[in-house]
Amino acid sequence: MSQPPARPEPVERAPANIPRHVAIIMDGNGRWAKQRGLPRIEGHRRGVETVRTTTFAARDLGVKVLTLYAFSVENWKRPQDEVGGLMTLLEFYLKKELKTFIRDRVRLLTIGRTEELPASVQELLRETIAATKDFHDYTLVLALNYGARTEVIDAAQAYAAAVADGREKLNDRSWETFSRYLYTAELPEPDLVIRTSGESRISNFLLLQAAYAEFVFSPVLWPDFTKDDLAAAIADYAKRERRYGLTSEQLKPPAGVSVSA
Ligand code: IPE
Ligand code: IPE
Ligand code: MG
């Protein structure tokens, strides 16, 4: 009997149907408010409610890591009162959620240059991260003062420092090594990236980590985004074949070989 064709090295993949890591570009708060004749900050306030419901909806649906893009490095350029309002909302949110995170065993992490956030926010982040560090079943990652380009600069700088003092080799040139210097070092790569509000762009979010992510662009404005919308995005994801550069045939087991879960 002839040997089955050689199969490529297995690529680490998430379970077929449920994305392990979902990352969301929460967009549309301003338009939601404008449609109602309300100030933009009211849209952000409602957006925080959606953050709460989505955190638990994602876990109910079997997601292990949820990353939410809450504030980009470019968002500092918005009007000062909006930036100030967003920082105040973030403070309120963190103060209120600490107990809930502990009760529901949610680990909080951040990605981004959090050292440039207001001191009061930094302090709350430190406290919440420390209080939830031993929870491992479900992780909420807030992208705060995050930009993929600044992330690459920070990673390159840390990598260069490691080379200079002999912890890394300059000629290593492997993604596995370099990616340990990204903010996301301890996280799996996102499987599914969702953007709300009908915009189809990535806006400097997880550019490297999303190299093989699936994308869903939802027309729903973030304050209106529900568990059903999240479930629909996950259902869409589940229908897709992630090929990681291989052919469809390579991903299927050779005839006669049964694959156990
Ligand atoms: C997303 O909503 C929240 C943040 C970027 C902080 P926007 O504020 O971008 O809402 P739109 O895009 O103006 O509707
Ligand atoms: C991306 O949304 C940033 C966050 C969701 C935090 P923006 O509304 O800032 O992005 P652009 O300006 O439309 O690309
Ligand atoms: Mg926007």
Q: Answer whether residue 78 is part of any domain.
A: yes
Q: Answer whether residue 4 is part of any domain.
A: no
| pLDDT over threshold 50, residue 5 | no
Q: Whole-angstrom Cα distance, residue 88 to residue 40?
A: 14
For the segment 202-208, the average pLDDT, to the nearest whole number, is 98
For the segment 83-105, the average pLDDT, to the nearest whole number, is 98
120 lines ligand 1 (CB under 6 A): no
pLDDT band at 231 (very low <50, low <70, confident <90, very high): very high
Q: Answer whether residue 260 is part of any domain.
A: no
Q: Answer whether residue 163 is part of any domain.
A: yes
Residue 128, domain CATH? 3.40.1180.10
For the segment 14-26, the average pLDDT, to the nearest whole number, is 88
Closest CA to 91 of 142, 140, 155: 142
Q: What is the pLDDT of residue 1?
A: 37
* Ligand 2, atom 10: closest residue by C-alpha: 203
How many domains, in total, are found in the chain? 1
Ligand nearest to the CA of 71: 2
Measured in Å, residue 126 CA sits from the centre of ligand 2 at 25
Q: Answer whether residue 74 is part of any domain.
A: yes
Q: Answer whether residue 13 is part of any domain.
A: no
99 lines ligand 2 (CB under 6 A): no
Closest CA to 128 of 157, 96, 167, 174: 96
For the segment 175-180, the average pLDDT, to the nearest whole number, is 98
Q: Answer whether residue 7 is part of any domain.
A: no
Q: Answer whether residue 256 is part of any domain.
A: no
Pocket test for ligand 1, best of 74, 197, 201, 225 (most atoms within 8 A of CB): 197
Q: What is the pLDDT of residue 50?
A: 99
Neighbours of 188 (CB within 10 A): 15
| pLDDT over threshold 70, residue 171 | yes
3-class DSSP state of 214: strand
204: tokens are 């400097």
For the segment 206-221, the average pLDDT, to the nearest whole number, is 98
Structural domain of residue 48, as residue ranges? 21-251
